[in-house]
Structure 1
């Protein structure tokens, strides 16, 4: 019986050693690996300060509306927490540079039939230490702010107004700006 116990003890010991080795390699090998939606974003940033968007257009209400849309997008899509403290881990600075309406087609009496409402903005995301956090895929390591332009179509004959089209444009622009906060592969 003693001869049978020794091989079983050796098998149990080798299985235990194999299990411990495998566990340590899994834990050690995956310690820096991130998974899930949070892997799309920087792990060194937890808070974002979003000051009111500076507005260089003649429509005074666009800056606060875009600010609110950006804050809503960050809170709903990213793991970051928006704070009012300028000493946050990072700051997202946005400047609204232009607002435009382009007539696409007219009726026979020169009334606009279809229009495009367009907004253009510049955005810069910087860390507390001044490091640029946006990763521009077109010009990597450019170190400059990124320009965004977004438009929405409106048809007044269908009951749409410039305000509804502008709100749709603001929401799409906020989505595009927040999408740039994702890490590039």
Structure 2
């Protein structure tokens, strides 16, 4: 299996690289699949971060953000060497081109958390969901 670097439509830097790293770690830990170069791989797992947002859920008395939510939406595609879709989880005979995965995480700045820690948690959870999709029957 080959995992190219995740493409990102977000303006935040290095999100694609961080998600790629987490996906590769989860594949090595949880699946029987081995990572390989594109030329030697029998399948390719591609992903794109379509959106990433941040919104304030709660403010303190001084209108400072107290609880902030970050949200990611990722599209994933797993194809074999011929380009045929492998991962499709639907009962409808028409196969979708992509599997959609989303993840939201919260952070509390007053508690020592930051946007970076929230993104790291989201990347871990997204990678876990994506690799979990590989284990479903197809």
Scaled to the shorter chain, the TM-score interval is over 0.9
CA deviation vs aligned residue, 1:156-175 (integer Å, no higher than 9, x gap):
11010100010000000001
CA deviation vs aligned residue, 1:59-89 (integer Å, no higher than 9, x gap):
1210100000000000000000011234411
TM-score (norm 2): 0.93
Q: Say if 2:88 and 2:99, in contact at 8 Å, map to a contact too.
A: no
The residue number in structure 2 matching 1:118 is 71
**CA–CA distance in structure 2, aligned partners of residues 142 and 125 of structure 1:** 12
**Which fold has the larger relative contact order, with Cα–Cα distance below 8 Å and residues 6 or more apart in sequence?**
2
SS of structure 2 residue aligned to 1:96:
strand
The residue number in structure 1 matching 2:114 is 161
Q: Say if 1:135 and 1:141, in contact at 8 Å, map to a contact too.
A: no
Aligned Cα root-mean-square deviation (Å): 1.5
- 2:89 alignment partner, one of 136, 151, 158: 136
Indicate whether 1:74 and 2:24 are aligned: no
The residue number in structure 1 matching 2:3 is 50
**Shift in Å, 1:138:** 6.5
**CA–CA distance in structure 1, aligned partners of residues 10 and 23 of structure 2:** 18
Structure (1 or 2) with the greater helix fraction: 1
The residue number in structure 2 matching 1:179 is 132
Unaligned runs of 5+ in 2: none
| Aligned length, in residue pairs | 138
**CA–CA distance in structure 2, aligned partners of residues 139 and 87 of structure 1:** 32
**CA–CA distance in structure 1, aligned partners of residues 76 and 92 of structure 2:** 15
Unaligned runs of 5+ in 1: 1-47
Structure (1 or 2) with the greater strand fraction: 2
Q: Say if 1:56 and 1:98, in contact at 8 Å, map to a contact too.
A: yes
- 159 and 166 in structure 1: CA distance in 2 versus 1, 3 angstrom threshold: same
**Shift in Å, 1:53:** 0.4
